[in-house]
Amino acid sequence: MITLYNAPSCTSCRKAKTWFEDYQIPYTERDIIKDPLTKEEIKQMLMRTENGTEDLISTRSKAFKELDINIEELPLKELIELVEKNPAILKRPLIADETRFQVGFNENEIRRFLPREIRAYELEKAKQEAGIV
């Protein structure tokens, strides 16, 4: 099952929800502000990223700037505690299932959550429209 980790005021989160609903893909939703991630969940997400904290932490966010810290200097344990106590510093949405993980909404990248048969059908349709058969 796909889990959409989001926050109510997040425009990208609303886009992701709409995308899943448009494709009728079931998902569960979790508001990370009301129901923050556990230390273990944060560790798991860090392990699933390519660039670790750089992929997960929104250094441009107001919440992050107010903390006035250098995350590069924080030991991993302290970083995880920081995220646990300040979930608003995470990029959103976070989208995950058993094998896939995505940070943020990107219309091309989110397609990885489409069932294989739908991706194959849409690829064939695009080839036909482009005259590549």
In this predicted structure, what is the pLDDT of residue 119?
A: 75
Q: 10 an active-site residue?
A: yes
Mean pLDDT of the chain: 94
Instruction: Express each pLDDT in 81-107 by its tens digit.
Output: 999 999 999 999 999 999 999 999 999
pTM over 0.75: yes
Architecture of domain 2-130: 3-Layer(aba) Sandwich (3.40)
Higher pLDDT: 94 or 133? It is: 94
Helix %, strand %, coil % of the chain (to 5): 50, 15, 35
Pairing state between β 2-6 and 101-103: unpaired
- Which of 82, 81, 84 is closest to 37 using CA atoms? 84
Mean pLDDT across the stretch 111-118?
A: 87
Q: Please pick, among 5, 6, 10, 32, the residue that the annotation labels catalytic.
A: 10
